[in-house]
């Protein structure tokens, strides 16, 4: 259920560039989902464009281009379910997003190219995603997008949450604290403290 929210200076992208960029970034989102070229994967792949008015985006204490490298200011916030990507996956997203923006602008050859393309990956804690009025688990998201529960990718997810369950148990988290996959609850002491979530 990843979301990319792109902030950019008003006028920096025309309709054609936005369309091209949305397509490129959707491919990045689907790759993030483990190659989820399914209807379920595409339904979760959201790209939002938010223009920022002139005078509302300051870099280095200035609202001009003094400290801005081509192709200009871009802030991309990528929301993903917690525990879905290891550092290698996250680094590949940083690169793919910057490459997509630079390619759309066709600006090459500048040694500082992309220096003002800032990409933050924000993990949404397990149990905090919701759709259709229900809390949904990363396990159910993986199922919806077609990520095999026997894949290396999902094995890593299970290892991540098993480790988190051990930390919760050791720290004495209270029941109902949230933050664990339902499967992690099944294999750990329930005093590790996460309420089950609807994984339908």
Average pLDDT over residues 84-112: 88
Average pLDDT of the residues in 166-182? 87
Sequence-ordered strand ranges (E) for the chain: 3-9, 46-52, 74-81, 117-124, 130-131, 134-135
Angle in degrees, CA 44, 45, 50, rounded to 5: 120
Residue 40 is predicted with a pLDDT of: 66
Of residues 2 and 92, more confidence is placed in 92
Q: In the CATH hierarchy, which fold is given to the domain comprising 3-124?
A: Macrophage Migration Inhibitory Factor (3.30.429)
| Percent over 70 (pLDDT), the chain | 86
Length of the chain: 200
What is the pLDDT of the chain when averaged over all its residues? 83
In this prediction the pTM is: 0.83
Q: Where are the domains of the chain?
A: 3-124, 130-192
Average pLDDT over residues 18-34: 88
């Amino acid at each position: 259920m990843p979301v990319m929210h792109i902030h950019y200076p008003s006028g920096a992208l025309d309709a054609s560039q936005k369309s091209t960029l949305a397509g490129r970034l959707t491919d990045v989102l689907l790759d993030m989902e483990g190659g989820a070229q399914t209807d379920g994967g595409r339904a979760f792949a959201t790209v939002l464009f938010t223009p920022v008015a002139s005078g509302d985006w300051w870099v280095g204490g200035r609202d001009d281009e003094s400290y801005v490298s081509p192709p200009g200011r871009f802030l991309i916030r990528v929301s993903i379910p917690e525990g879905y990507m290891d550092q290698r996956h996250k680094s590949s997203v940083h690169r793919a997003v910057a490459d997509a923006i630079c390619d759309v602008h066709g600006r090459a050859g500048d040694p500082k190219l992309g220096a003002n393309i800032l990409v933050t990956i924000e993990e949404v804690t397990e149990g905090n995603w919701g759709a259709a009025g229900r809390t949904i688990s990363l396990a159910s998201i993986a199922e919806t997008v077609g990520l095999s529960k026997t894949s290396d990718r999902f094995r890593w997810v299970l290892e991540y949450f098993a480790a988190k369950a051990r930390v919760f148990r050791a720290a004495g988290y209270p029941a109902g604290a949230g933050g664990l996959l339902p499967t992690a609850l099944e294999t750990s002491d329930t005093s590790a403290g996460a309420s089950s979530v609807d994984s339908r």
